[in-house]
């Protein structure tokens, strides 16, 4: 049964010593495809390296994360284009806006970088993977100004059900991780019960997502990708669907959004 991971950061140095083992174990666990998201010029080469090393496992994505807005070089956009052109199936991501208290000071730089990347995604006909924290209104404005024919994924979506419907109308997809099963996340679970099934994906955001104990299981910290079967089963239960039917549907969604072969 396939369990694709719609969003992670396997290029993170925390995983370097275990990545070979993880890559060997993942397919046996059903984790046959993973989307590894770059966040800055500094980690794009590592993402590209993983995609070249495991081309049938890793789907690379390249983007300037809002946390790194203001630190990029003068030629970052040209460099980003080079990586995207080298990998014709790569989404633009992880990009977006973060207006949390300690990051809002550089909101104008975030918005400028986001707009440039949305233009590039439209030009290259790529889907987009978005980060959004306390910036739903600004992100909605940006998306309305830069329509995306290939759509966009709100990874780890944490907004309201009402805003989810707005984003869905603009071409949005939504992914959840095991974090929603933390006892404090009842509101997010309710939102993911309401996400249209045809726009739903499942992710880990490995290795930095905070996991509830039941999703951590026996895997070492950071190896969250190996928890995907448990996460899929939990989300299937939340959606009141048989686990095998749910997993197959999400695999089909994954193939449609990322334009890969279903189950591969």
Q: Catalogue all structural domains in the chain, each as residue range(s) with its CATH number.
A: 5-258 (3.20.20.140)
Q: Is the pLDDT of residue 116 over 60?
A: yes
Q: Please report the pLDDT score of residue 223 as a whole number.
A: 62
Q: Please report the pLDDT score of residue 215 as a whole number.
A: 56
pLDDT, tens digit (0-9, with 9 covering 90-100), for 202-211: 999 998 765 6
How many Å apart are CA 118 and CA 147, to the nearest integer? 8
User: What sign for the dihedral angle of Cα 94, 100, 105, 111?
Assistant: positive
What average pLDDT does this structure show over 93-114? 92
What average pLDDT does this structure show over 46-54? 98
What average pLDDT does this structure show over 114-123? 98
Q: Are 246 and 232 in contact (CB under 8 A)?
A: yes
Q: Name which of 257, 213, 226 is nearest 23 in CA terms.
A: 226
* Phi/psi at 195 (5° precision): -60, 130
Q: Please report the pLDDT score of residue 208 as a whole number.
A: 72
Q: Is the pLDDT of residue 198 over 50?
A: yes
Q: Please report the pLDDT score of residue 94 as a whole number.
A: 98
Q: Is the pLDDT of residue 256 over 60?
A: yes
Q: Please report the pLDDT score of residue 264 as a whole number.
A: 38
How many Å apart are CA 91 and CA 159, to the nearest integer? 22
Query: Which pLDDT band, with edges at 50, 70 and 90, does 246 fall under?
Result: very high
Query: Which pLDDT band, with edges at 50, 70 and 90, does 140 fall under?
Result: very high
Q: Greatest CA span in the chain, whole angstroms? A: 51
What is the residue-averaged pLDDT of the chain?
A: 92
How many Å apart are CA 254 and CA 264, to the nearest integer? 10
pLDDT over 90, % of the chain: 81
How many Å apart are CA 46 and CA 52, to the nearest integer? 10
What's the count of helices (H) and strands (E) in the chain, helices before strands?
10, 8
Q: Which two tokens stand for residue 15?
A: 């995983």
Query: Which pLDDT band, with edges at 50, 70 and 90, does 263 fall under?
Result: very low
């Amino acid at each position: 049964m396939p369990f694709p991971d719609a969003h992670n950061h396997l290029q993170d140095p925390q995983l370097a010593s275990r990545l070979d083992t993880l890559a060997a174990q993942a397919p046996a666990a059903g984790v046959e495809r993973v989307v590894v998201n770059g966040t800055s010029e500094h980690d794009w080469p590592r993402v590209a390296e993983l995609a070249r090393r495991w081309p049938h496992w890793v789907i690379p994505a390249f983007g300037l994360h809002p946390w790194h807005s203001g630190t990029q070089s003068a030629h970052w956009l040209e460099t980003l284009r080079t990586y995207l052109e080298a990998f014709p199936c790569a989404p633009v991501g992880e990009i977006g806006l973060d207006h949390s208290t300690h990051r809002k000071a550089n909101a104008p730089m975030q918005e400028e970088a986001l707009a440039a990347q949305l233009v590039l995604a439209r030009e290259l006909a790529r889907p987009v993977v978005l980060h959004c924290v306390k910036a739903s209104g600004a992100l909605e404005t940006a998306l309305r100004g830069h329509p995306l024919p290939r759509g966009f994924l709100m990874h780890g979506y944490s907004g309201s059900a009402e805003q989810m419907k707005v984003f869905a109308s603009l071409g949005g997809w939504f992914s959840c991780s095991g974090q929603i099963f933390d006892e404090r996340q009842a509101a997010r679970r309710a939102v993911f019960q309401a996400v249209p099934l045809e726009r739903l994906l499942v992710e880990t955001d490995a290795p930095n997502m905070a996991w509830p104990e039941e999703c951590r299981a026996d895997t070492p910290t950071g190896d969250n990708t190996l928890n995907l079967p448990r996460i899929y089963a939990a989300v299937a239960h939340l959606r009141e669907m048989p686990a095998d039917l749910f997993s197959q549907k999400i695999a089909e969604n994954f193939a449609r959004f990322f334009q890969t072969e279903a189950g591969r």
